[in-house]
Amino acid sequence: MTTQPRTHLVGDVVDLEASQAIARTVLDTMTLPEKAAQMTQVDKGAATPDQVAEHGIGSVLSGGGGNPSPNTPANWAGMVGDFLDGAKRSRLGIPLLYGTDAVHGHSNVVGATMFPHNVGLGATGNEDLVERVYRATAVETAATGARWAFAPTVAVSIDPRWGRSYESFGDDPELVGRLGAAAVRGLQGSRPDAPDSVLACLKHYVGDGGTEWGTASRAEWTDWWNGWGTQWHIDQGDLRADEMTLRRTHLRPYVAGVEAGALSVMASYSSWNGDKLHAHRRLITDVLKDELGFSGFVVSDWMGIDQLDPDPYRCVVMAVNAGIDMVMVPFEFERFIRNVVTGVETGDIAPSRVDDAVRRILSVKAALGLFDGTDEVSTDAIGTSAHRALAREAVAASAVLLEHRAGTLPLTADHILVAGQGADDIGLQCGGWTIEWQGGSGPITPGTTILQALRDARPGSRVEFASDGAFAPATSAPVGVAVVAERPYAEGLGDRGDLRLAADQVAVVERLRSHVDRLVLVVISGRPLVLGDLVDRCDAIVAAWLPGTEGAGIADVLTGSRPFTGTLPRRWPASAAQVDAPAGPWTPAWDRGHGVAV
Ligand code: BGC
Ligand code: BGC
């Protein structure tokens, strides 16, 4: 009998010892190539179900936009199901784990409920709500047979220029940890082995939100084919900080997430004082696994190990020896399997390291109940009215009223002018990681725009809309609503040195201003934007973040059917100079915790 503690996660519900016993039994029957294949995660387009069967591959993923065509819930279930069946046909029939970026709902799927991105959930500060949101995300994800969400991101985002700021709950480690833990509980549910629970994945370990502008270090040999390297400025960069800062700020949410039972962690592309996390044995093995007692498995990020060295074999050796258990290859999986086998045969990788990795992967699969063989799914749970109502509630709770001149809100006028493309665009209100990796604009998935919702909420009012704010010269109304928006982005393609509201968006506000007595500015963005003198020219300013498909939540707070309760989850800089000095001591336009109640 070992003294191995029962982990935090599985607590009284799933017997971890039983899961580990299953893992040990299965492990004993595996050949070295089968173990290597179990450590492999391949992109759904890079292997067929037959290849999964042939090798006994452990995991398949959909990256951002990794969708079937046409992109429907039924086709998702079919696509995932074909891979699950492939694994069943492998020599040992070890069940496959299918992973996807369900980061604000099952966000690749047309018709799924898209919840606010994490920055908006951060503004709610409400862990009960966050748990319910992630529970619904789990239910929709599992409904397509995928039992692994690459979520939650628990980055503590210091610099809003980072293209992933919106994936973070905010700049406060305590808040991020608290809400990250709630997300884990929601995803994994009270019973991780229930068919509607999914494996959570804390990411990106560790310090991805603290990197410095100008230190992005995507390796050029991985980027030759797309030229992206030049667009990365801070994402995948270097955290330059002492260990105390690393622990107090960036490690803290992992402590909370592991305690909440998270059974997978994704390594970060970023570096700590120049050392890439994907090869960081001390942080992955000594700190995460040994010190924090993390008993799940660590997965690498998309081609993340390829950045370690120009030689693919060296990459595998470095990553596996650092403590990475599963590799998101995601393309050249046969080469990866060969390299693991060679590594063990030549003594570069200890057999016990491979056994440890596979044992971890298998015990998580057992904890998820995958060996029980029940994978019947029904896509009926996707985009339900109950989930959309929950999303609407979350959207309303996430809206932060930054400024308010008495008497402006709630909107009661019988004539309202609405301007800005963001007022009537599902894609813009969803942001990146929605249907496509970079997101999109227009009706990319069913939902309710803010304009539609305002019209529904004020059936007796005349609600006129001009996307560019250019109403006929004689038009005038007591109140106008300008909805300005950032264009969607994801990862380093959203790194942006200039956070001033784009000129075309400022122009919309200016055009509308001349037609109305009171002007309400609604800002759709993944991060604080420098609003300049618009602050003085608007009568109310609302940070709506990236609300997702249910724009009605914004209409609810604007029309007063729900109160404004959201507060800033991060500081909001007042000027471009403050943006350039993210850590600097300055007085923000609005501080963390700010939010006017109406
Ligand atoms: C991102 C991860 C994501 C993975 C799979 C990577 O580029 O950094 O957050 O989970 O791709 O799409
Ligand atoms: C994939 C994303 C991934 C990214 C990494 C994209 O092609 O769709 O999921 O995160 O590449 O660079």
Is the peptide bond between 60 and the residue preceding it cis, with omega within 30 degrees of 0?
no
Q: Does ligand 1 lie within 6 Å of residue 195's CB atom?
A: no
pLDDT digits (tens, 9 = 90+) for 266-280: 999 999 999 999 999
Q: Which residues contact 324 (CB under 8 A, 6 or more apart)?
A: 267, 278, 284, 298, 299, 300, 305, 357
Q: Does ligand 1 lie within 6 Å of residue 511's CB atom?
A: no
The total number of residues shown for the chain amounts to 598
- Answer for the pair 450, 429: CB distance below 8 angstroms, yes or no: yes
| Residue 301 annotated in active site | yes
Mean pLDDT of successive 10-residue segments in the chain (598 residues)? 36 67 95 98 98 98 98 98 97 98 98 99 98 98 98 98 98 98 98 96 98 89 74 95 98 98 98 98 98 97 96 98 98 98 98 98 96 86 98 99 98 98 98 98 98 97 98 97 98 96 98 98 98 97 99 98 98 97 93 96
Q: Does ligand 2 lie within 6 Å of residue 302's CB atom?
A: yes
Angle, CA 26 vertex, CA 281 and CA 279 arms, to 5°: 10
Probe target for ligand 2 pocket from 44, 269, 329, 437, with the most ligand atoms within 8 Å of CB = 437
How close is the Cα of 241 to the center of ligand 1, in Å? 24
CA gap 344, 149 in Å, rounded: 31
Amino acid identity of 339? Answer: N
Q: What is the pTM of this model?
A: 0.96
- Answer for the pair 508, 501: CB distance below 8 angstroms, yes or no: no
Residue having the nearest C-alpha atom to atom 6 of ligand 1: 302
Q: Which residues contact 202 (CB under 8 A, 6 or more apart)?
A: 152, 154, 180, 184, 253, 254, 257, 258, 262, 264, 265, 266
pLDDT at position 374: 72
Probe target for ligand 1 pocket from 270, 302, 306, 495, with the most ligand atoms within 8 Å of CB = 302
How close is the Cα of 235 to the center of ligand 2, in Å? 13
Q: Which atom of ligand 2 is nearest to the CA of 490?
A: 10
Q: Does ligand 2 lie within 6 Å of residue 437's CB atom?
A: yes
Q: Which atom of ligand 2 is nearest to the CA of 302?
A: 5
pLDDT at position 278: 98
Residue 411 tokens, joined: 């909107």
How close is the Cα of 53 to the center of ligand 2, in Å? 25
Q: Whose CA is closest to 453, among 425, 485, 486?
A: 425
Q: Does ligand 2 lie within 6 Å of residue 383's CB atom?
A: no
**What separation in angstroms does the CA of 168 have from each of 145, 306, 455, 570?**
27, 25, 32, 10
Q: Whose CA is closest to 381, among 148, 77, 141, 105?
A: 141
pLDDT at position 217: 83
Q: Does ligand 1 lie within 6 Å of residue 238's CB atom?
A: no
Residue 18 tokens, joined: 């039983």
pLDDT digits (tens, 9 = 90+) for 77-95: 999 999 999 999 999 999 9
CA gap 193, 534 in Å, rounded: 52
Q: Transcribe 79-100 into DSSP letters.
A: HHHHHHHHHHTSSS-PPPEEEE
Probe target for ligand 2 pocket from 61, 71, 302, with the most ligand atoms within 8 Å of CB = 302
E strand spans, 290-365: 297-299, 327-328
Write down the residue that tokens 């239910």 correspond to: 139
Q: Whose CA is closest to 558, among 512, 522, 525?
A: 522
E strand spans, 115-173: 148-149
pLDDT at position 15: 66
CA gap 206, 257 in Å, rounded: 13
CA gap 94, 484 in Å, rounded: 50
Q: Does ligand 1 lie within 6 Å of residue 101's CB atom?
A: yes
Residue having the nearest C-alpha atom to atom 5 of ligand 1: 63
- Answer for the pair 342, 107: CB distance below 8 angstroms, yes or no: no
| Residue 290 annotated in active site | no
Residue having the nearest C-alpha atom to atom 7 of ligand 1: 302
pLDDT at position 377: 86
The number of the ligand nearest the C-alpha atom of 301 reads 1
Torsion of CA 254, 257, 263, 264, to 10 degrees: -40
195 CB neighbour count, 10 Å cutoff: 18
Q: Does ligand 1 lie within 6 Å of residue 148's CB atom?
A: no
CA gap 555, 548 in Å, rounded: 13
Q: Does ligand 2 lie within 6 Å of residue 93's CB atom?
A: no
Q: Which atom of ligand 2 is nearest to the CA of 63?
A: 9
Q: What SS3 class is residue 356?
A: helix
Q: Which residue intervals of 44-117 are DSSP H helices?
A: 49-55, 73-88
- Answer for the pair 264, 243: CB distance below 8 angstroms, yes or no: no
Q: Does ligand 2 lie within 6 Å of residue 492's CB atom?
A: no
Q: Which atom of ligand 1 is nearest to the CA of 437?
A: 12
- Answer for the pair 499, 435: CB distance below 8 angstroms, yes or no: no
- Answer for the pair 171, 164: CB distance below 8 angstroms, yes or no: no
The one catalytic residue in 301, 309, 356, 424 is 301
How close is the Cα of 498 to the center of ligand 2, in Å? 24
Q: Does ligand 1 lie within 6 Å of residue 306's CB atom?
A: no
